[in-house]
Amino acid sequence: MPKKGKKETRVLFIIGALAFSIFALSACTVTSETESAPTAANTVTNSAVDQFIGTVTGYGVETQGYGGDNENTVYVDNKRVDLDLIWPYSAGCMERELVQDKAFASARDALEKTLPIGQRVLVVLSNFENGEWVGDRSKGFVHILQDKDTPEVTPPADSVNERLVLTGYWVPHGMGIEFDAYTFNATYGNFNADYLSQKQEEYLPYILEAGNKARTNQAGAIPICSTLALDYEIDAFYNGLSFSRDEEEETRLWWIERNKPVNCRDGDGDGICFER
């Protein structure tokens, strides 16, 4: 073959090799970028739906109508969170109108001291189970965070919900909690798990224990609750006693009337006939 033909063949071969190399490098680069990008599945797996970290930005404001804030409402990063399984202490005082306003004011003071604006917190939502919501999405438990965004005590212990109950201005409250607020020596302990989510079941024993400690220590407003409960028991006792006496007298008169002789003339109703 002539030298010129060999030279052209060599040039074509080099050009072909360079083209193949560039294509191969481009393909590698595309594959590498695709593999390094996070998939949708990984993103979902790495995000916790039932909890988040944020900063306290506000408290609930009473509003009229459905969907308004409650006394146990706080806002974390402007998201509504209703402190679960607790309520201002008036719920444990039989909702006497006389103490309503003071009760809610005292409960709010305790809330603002325990959970100040600007506090960094962990929010654990109550009703997310097995990948789906099983109740109100705003209900939850709040934990104070220390350095490096870690709670001082591992959850479910030491939530703000629990701390508020310990003040004596809040009480355990919610469906499933069995407690007789009308009994002076009542204690917390019994509950019906059928009304609770799994997360609520984890937190409730700590909240009930806090309720019993507050009652033992007569903390906060508990003495008022106890006095009202005792008053109710005393009133109920005397009302029952009075009813019993009235019933006894009614029964006595009935028997007198029943046992009267047919032709008896009883002037004063004592069952004695033909008195002079």
| Cα 206 from Cα 215, distance rounded (Å) | 14
Residue 124 has pLDDT above 60, yes or no: yes
Q: pLDDT digits over 22-78, tens only?
A: 444 444 433 333 333 333 333 223 347 899 999 999 998 765 555 678 889 999 999
Residue 4 has pLDDT above 70, yes or no: no
Nearest alpha-carbon partner for 75 in 50, 58, 55, 62: 58
This prediction has a pTM of 0.66
Residue 104 has pLDDT above 50, yes or no: yes
Amino acid at 123: V
For residues 257-274, give the mean pLDDT.
62
Residue 84 has pLDDT above 80, yes or no: yes
What is the 8-class DSSP label of residue 263?
T
Task: Look at residue 123 in the predicted model and tell me its pLDDT.
Answer: 97
Show the domains of the chain with their CATH numbers: 45-226 (2.40.50.90)
211: which residues sit within 8 A by CB, 6+ positions away? 165, 171, 172, 179, 188
